[in-house]
Amino acid sequence: MAITIRDTGPRKRNIASLVGGVVIAVGCFVLWVLVAGELTRFPPSLPLIACGLAAAVAIGVWIRLADL
């Protein structure tokens, strides 16, 4: 017996997953800067802030895609 899959359109994306990803990314970046400021001198160096920004964006994208 063959299994058929109905032709469905693309999944509708929810705005809540986008907002959640952005909020988590901003929170991660703020925590990164605060912890880096405590471990080094405040304000942290530019490469350290860039690493924090990259990590925060990656976590935000992960949350966005995982919530779909």
The model's pTM:
0.75
Q: Residue 59 pLDDT more than 70?
A: yes
35 CB neighbour count, 10 Å cutoff = 12
Residue 61 lies in a domain: yes
Task: Tell me if 6 is assigned to some domain.
Answer: no
For 64, the domain range is: 33-68
Half-sphere exposure (CA, 13 Å, Cβ side) for 4? 2
In this structure, is residue 51 part of a structural domain? yes
CA distances for 34 relative to 6, 16, 40, 48, angstroms = 50, 27, 10, 11
- Structurally, the chain folds into a number of domains equal to 1
In a domain, 27, yes or no: no
Angstrom distance (rounded) from CA 38 to CA 32: 10
Digit-coded pLDDT (tens) for 4-55: 666 666 666 678 888 999 999 999 999 999 999 999 887 889 999 999 999 9
CA–CA gap between residue 31 and residue 8 (Å, rounded):
41
